[in-house]
């Protein structure tokens, strides 16, 4: 995959096939930044993830990710490190944290 524009606008959609016509109905699940929706997808149970696609767009591009591709996005190092997979904001106030004195 090329460089990912994580702050791009994106939509998480559920694709529901229509049995009688062979077409599909789409239901909007969430809208936000690409990195936020990847996180929302990963937090869902596997059953909730079925049938979801993630569509992201910029000024001159669009990209669609199926469930497997969204999982691949979540596994990318720039996703897990760039957007705070581990929140360190309150570590200084954590009584269990011990500073090593030299």
Could you tell me which residues are beta bridge partners of residue 35? none
Q: What is the mean pLDDT of residues 14-27?
A: 84
The answer to whether residue 84 scores a pLDDT higher than 90 is no
Q: Residue 25: what pLDDT?
A: 87
For residue 12, how many C-alpha atoms fall within 13 Å in the half-sphere facing its CB? 23
> What are the CA-CA distances from residue 62 to residues 8, 19, 49, 59 (Å)?
10, 28, 21, 8
Measured in degrees and rounded to the nearest 5, phi and psi for residue 72 equal -65, -40
CA 98/CA 12 separation, integer angstroms: 41
pLDDT digits (tens, 9 = 90+) for 40-67: 999 999 999 999 999 999 888 899 999 9
This prediction's pTM:
0.71
What does pLDDT average to over the chain? 81
């Amino acid at each position: 995959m090329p460089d990912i524009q994580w702050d791009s606008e994106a939509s998480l959609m559920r694709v529901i096939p229509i049995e009688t016509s062979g077409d599909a109905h789409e239901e909007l699940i969430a809208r936000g930044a690409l990195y936020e929706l990847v996180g929302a997808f990963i937090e869902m149970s596997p059953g909730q993830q079925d049938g979801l696609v993630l569509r992201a767009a910029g000024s001159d591009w669009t990209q669609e990710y199926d469930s497997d591709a969204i999982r691949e996005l979540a596994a990318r190092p720039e996703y897990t490190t760039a957007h705070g997979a581990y929140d360190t904001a309150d570590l200084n106030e954590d009584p269990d944290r011990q500073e090593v004195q030299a």
